[in-house]
Amino acid sequence: MKKRFYFTTAAFPNMITMLNLVSGFFSILMSIQEKYEFAVWLVFLSLILDSLDGHVARIFGNETEFGRELDSLADAVSFVVAPCMLVYKAFSHHSPIALLLVIVFYLCTGIFRLARFNVNPIHGGGCFEGLPTPAAALTLMMTMLAFHKNLWGDRSLSLISEVFLMTALGFLMVSDIPYPKVSAIKFRSWRTLFVVQVAMFFAVFFYLNIESAIAAIFLTFIVLSPFYCVSFRKTSDDDASDEGGCA
């Protein structure tokens, strides 16, 4: 007999996952209507919901394979298709063929990243293999929104910056570079990075705006966190070797 999820506690995290999907869908609709700020903040809402559904599943003790697959499909819409649509709509009047190639590259790498995660969720030491799609999506979209809010340069400069960033994020998603699972981060080990990001957030927020501050946080995280993952993993391996020697 097939197992149903509709009237069990497993329905709660699945409902949150569906809200993630719906938020991503409305982000796409906002991009089509050229309401870019709403589109970006809806993906930010998807990030919160994506983090919440896993916690709720662990609280109820009902993490399932079905839930993981559902979460991956929702992430494909919210963190891969939605940012692609935003970039396309914002810059489609400038170099459409070259831009479309970059968007397709990002789309393919994002879907590849999600499929690989389903097979190999954690690379080791609480770190993911490659940049997670939510971090890539918010970095791309918040940076684009920061350019728009601050009126930095002309439209062609924004296009070049976004194309470069989109390409770099695509490579990072399919790379072997380790990125931390945020819920597994230990404050003591990551304290320096945490302090740097908090200080940067308030400084950028004070001089510019919250969109620029969030973009700075994500960019700093993408650049610096792999070094912390490597350092933390090396420390863990050294500790394990010492324990093995003592045994």
CA dihedral of residues 118, 124, 130, 133 (deg, nearest 10): 50
Beta bridge mates, 129: 178
Q: At what angle do helices 133-150 and 82-91 cross, to 10 degrees?
A: 30
For the domain that residue 186 is a member of, what is the CATH number? 1.20.120.1760
Confidence of residue 220 (pLDDT cuts 50, 70, 90): confident
The Cα-based distances of 16 to 26, 28, 202 in angstroms read 15, 19, 31
Confidence of residue 136 (pLDDT cuts 50, 70, 90): very high
Domain count, the chain: 1
Tokens of residue 17, six digits: 């996952």
Tokens of residue 137, six digits: 């999506």
pLDDT higher than 60, residue 241:
no
More confident residue, 245 or 226: 226
Asked whether residue 131 is domain-assigned, the answer is yes
Domain span holding position 212: 11-239
Question: Span 113-139, mean pLDDT?
Answer: 82
Measured distance CA(76)–CA(120) in Å, rounded: 17
Asked whether residue 246 is domain-assigned, the answer is no
Beta bridge mates, 128: 179
Q: At what angle do helices 82-91 and 96-119 cross, to 10 degrees?
A: 170
Could you tell me how far CA 64 lies from the centroid of its own chain? 22
Confidence of residue 246 (pLDDT cuts 50, 70, 90): very low
Asked whether residue 3 is domain-assigned, the answer is no
Measured distance CA(198)–CA(192) in Å, rounded: 10
Asked whether residue 2 is domain-assigned, the answer is no
pLDDT higher than 50, residue 4:
yes
Asked whether residue 244 is domain-assigned, the answer is no
Asked whether residue 224 is domain-assigned, the answer is yes
Measured distance CA(29)–CA(87) in Å, rounded: 13
Asked whether residue 24 is domain-assigned, the answer is yes
Over the Cα atoms of the chain, what is R_g? 19
Query: Which of 200, 38, 39, 173 has its CA nearest to residue 115?
Result: 173
Query: Which of 48, 61, 59 has its CA nearest to residue 19?
Result: 48
Question: Span 22-49, mean pLDDT?
Answer: 94
SS3 192: helix
pLDDT digits (tens, 9 = 90+) for 72-124: 999 999 999 999 999 999 887 766 788 889 999 999 999 999 998 888 766 55
Asked whether residue 245 is domain-assigned, the answer is no
Tokens of residue 203, six digits: 């400084």
With pLDDT > 90 as the criterion, what percentage of the chain qualifies? 35
Is the CA virtual torsion 189, 119, 26, 51 positive or negative? Answer: negative
The Cα-based distances of 233 to 12, 23, 129 in angstroms read 34, 35, 13
